Amino acid sequence: MDQIVLSHVTKTFTTKTLGTVTAVNDFNLTIKEGECFSFLGPSGCGKTTTLRMIAGFEDLSQGEIHLCGKPVSIKSKNLYVPPEDRGLGMVFQSFAVWPHMNIFENVAFPLRVRKVPKAEMTERVKMALKHTSLDGMEKVYPGNLSGGQQQRIALARAIVTNPKVMLLDEPLSNLDPKLRETMRFEIKELQKKFNFTIIFVTHDQSEAMALSDRMMVMDMGNIVQIGTPTELYNRPVNRFVHKFLGQSTFTDVILQDGKAYARGDMEQPLPVALPENGEREMVMATRPNQIDMNRTEGYKTKVEKRIFLTNYTEYLVRVGDQLLQVQTPHRNAFAQGETCYLKFPGIMWYGKEDEAAEAERNRRQLV
Ligand code: ATP
């Protein structure tokens, strides 16, 4: 079943300093029941605004949102269902745990608001604490607890209402790396047990990849690409997504007479399949660990620099007038100055990057 449906959702803000900014531009999006779906993108791309509109904290400038088959926001009809009636659980980066209430009271709060009878409330709080490894801590005040424990309280408070949809806004970014991994796993376990749909907001691509069934990469208020983590990693639609989802190596290439030449070397063609409908100047994209560096065949060149890193060896290799970053396992390492050959399996071709887009991205991140 389609559980969260956004149709032509747009949000603009007008401020004195920036003028009018389209934070979310004509979003059409369908998230299925039980999916873990991530919103991924740099600061200012519109992730939180989209989430806040789904939660009901932010009005829409245009469009409609349906949750579990029911309309919750329809701008043209002035229809608006308040957050507490949308059947959602929410966890934020800041934990939003109340220090003056003990753990029981923190978790029970949404049930008190809904006037759930006392016996049922106690039962449900106990269950939520058990599933977040907080049982026995009902009377403890959260003030002195670790970030991980506070985030568990926030999770318990979110699951206690038995929500169909869980909205998680950067819930792990205030935790240290080890704890993040543990909590990631615990969130997935909770999802299996309670079978809710997750929208996960993050600017951390590895977190999104580890958690998501599908993810949406956003840029400056636009949806750029939606797909599974492997689809997005292996077939990014543009340079922005390529760069955002992992280390990238871009080479400026000139296409001439059915061959591809690295800029600065019109003598030796690159051993690559040409793009369909390519322009004369294109960008060849790959990842440093996907380049095949060997001693027998391919584009002949030289190692300019070699660096030993913990898990691999990294090289800078000259290709035309550019230096390419290449990573290989430590075995059969090449020496600095040694001749080598490069092959480029699984490359992507892109047009030249739009510099105006980069400037706008920077402007949005500054505010
Ligand atoms: P971050 O990762 O930094 O939280 P984000 O991707 O969640 O960023 P949003 O917070 O949704 O981005 O912001 C999108 C754009 O809308 C930004 O340009 C931001 O400045 C603008 N914006 C968001 N909220 C408001 C507001 N209340 N008033 C004016 N502009 C706003």
- Can you give the pLDDT at residue 365? 61
pLDDT in tens, 224-255: 999 999 999 999 999 999 999 999 999 999 99
pLDDT at 193: 87
Q: How far is the CA of 22 from the centre of ligand 1 (A)?
A: 10
Using a 6 Å cutoff on CB, does residue 217 contact ligand 1? no
**Residue 360 scores a pLDDT above 80:** no
Q: 324 by DSSP, 3-state: which? A: strand
**Which of 47, 54, 58 has most ligand 1 atoms within 8 Å of its beta carbon, as the pocket-test mutant?**
47
User: Residue 78 and residue 250: Cα distance in Å, rounded?
Assistant: 48
Minimum-distance ligand 1 atom for the alpha carbon of 41: 6
Nearest-CA residue for ligand 1 atom 21 is: 23
Atom 31 (ligand 1) nearest CA: 13
C-alpha torsion 84→85→88→91, nearest 10:
-10
* pLDDT tens per residue across span 95-128: 678 888 999 999 999 999 889 999 999 999 999 9
**Which residue in 133, 135, 153 sits closest to 144, CA to CA?**
153
CA of 73 to the centre of ligand 1 (A): 20
Query: Model confidence over 4-27: pLDDT tens digits?
Result: 999 999 999 998 887 888 999 999
From the CB of 203, is ligand 1 less than 6 Å away?
Answer: yes
Distance 48 CA to ligand 1 centre (A): 7
**Among 348, 183, 199, which Cα is nearest to 278's?**
348
- Report which DSSP code applies to 173: T
**Rounded average pLDDT over 181-204:** 89
298 lines ligand 1 (CB under 6 A): no
Q: What is the pLDDT at residue 203?
A: 87
pTM for this entry: 0.87
**With a 6 A CB cut-off, is 48 part of the ligand 1 pocket?**
yes
Cβ of residue 78 lying under 6 Å from some atom of ligand 1: no
- Percent above pLDDT 70 for the chain: 96
Residue 24 bridge partners (DSSP): 11
**How much of the chain, in percent, has pLDDT values that exceed 90?**
67
